Chains A and B, each alone.
Chain A
Amino acid sequence: DIQLTQSPSFLSASVGDRVTITCRASQDISGYLAWYQQKPGKAPNLLIYAASTLESGVPSRFSGSGSGTEFTLTISNLQPEDLATYYCQQLIRYPPDYTFGQGTRLEI
């Protein structure tokens, strides 16, 4: 099984900061990775897929990069509404494996 490990698990930053969250896969998953934001008490929301493709309607201060086993989510110009937990997810289809990373809680 492919494991996803996010770091850090917790992150504290200030409004206007730039933060980076890392997701490492235990095997090469090429670009088959998505990032989600989950605000407290809400369902997750898709931010990025294919490692770097921004989902429609997501602010451009969110960006993703990486391929293979190491991926990053970067949030520029941090806003108060970015307080959330962020998850990476692999999008392997054969056999299906949609495992999530353990999450990174972002405090503003």
Chain B
Amino acid sequence: EVQLVQSGAEVKKPGESLKISCKGSGYSFTNYWIGWVRQMPGKGLEWMGVIYPSNSDTRYNPSFQGQVTISADKSITTAYVQWSSLKASDTAMYYCARLRVGYCGGDCYPFDSWGQGTLVTVSS
């Protein structure tokens, strides 16, 4: 069974750093892209970026480029997103998801399995 298990909820102050994790199991971790998605309170879904754990090839949504860093450690089948200096506006639920190849007329990558989410609260 494919599972993505995310780290627990975090409460931080503005300016602090943070790294949250997403551990994959039940499949070949290095052969699938992992994506990160933000959901601010009461709002919709925003894709932040994707990473290919085999070689750490990372692609960012331009809106998140420079704001977060996405990484992966294939030896422990875990992906991460980190912030160097949190802002109150980073308060959100963060989801990781596996991208599985499909065929949309060419290869496409729907987000087929999701983690349970990590709630990040940034408040002074």
Contact = CB atoms under 8 A, between A and B. Distances in A.
Interface residues of A, number: 30
A69 interface: no
What secondary structure prevails in chain B residues at the interface with A? strand
B50 A49 contact: no
Contact of B115 (A43, A49, A53): A43
B45 interface: yes
Interface string A25-51: 000001111101010000111100111
B109 A103 contact: no
Contacts of B47: 89, 98-100
Nearest to A52: B104
Contacts of B59: 95-96
B29 to A, nearest CB: 19
A100 B110 contact: no
B44 A32 contact: no
Contact of A93 (B37, B46, B108, B116): B108
Given A46-B110, A49-B108, 19 more contacts: A30-B104, A32-B104, A32-B105, A44-B37, A44-B45, A44-B95, A44-B114, A45-B114, A49-B110, A87-B45, A89-B45, A89-B47, A89-B111, A91-B108, A93-B107, A93-B108, A95-B59, A96-B50, A100-B45
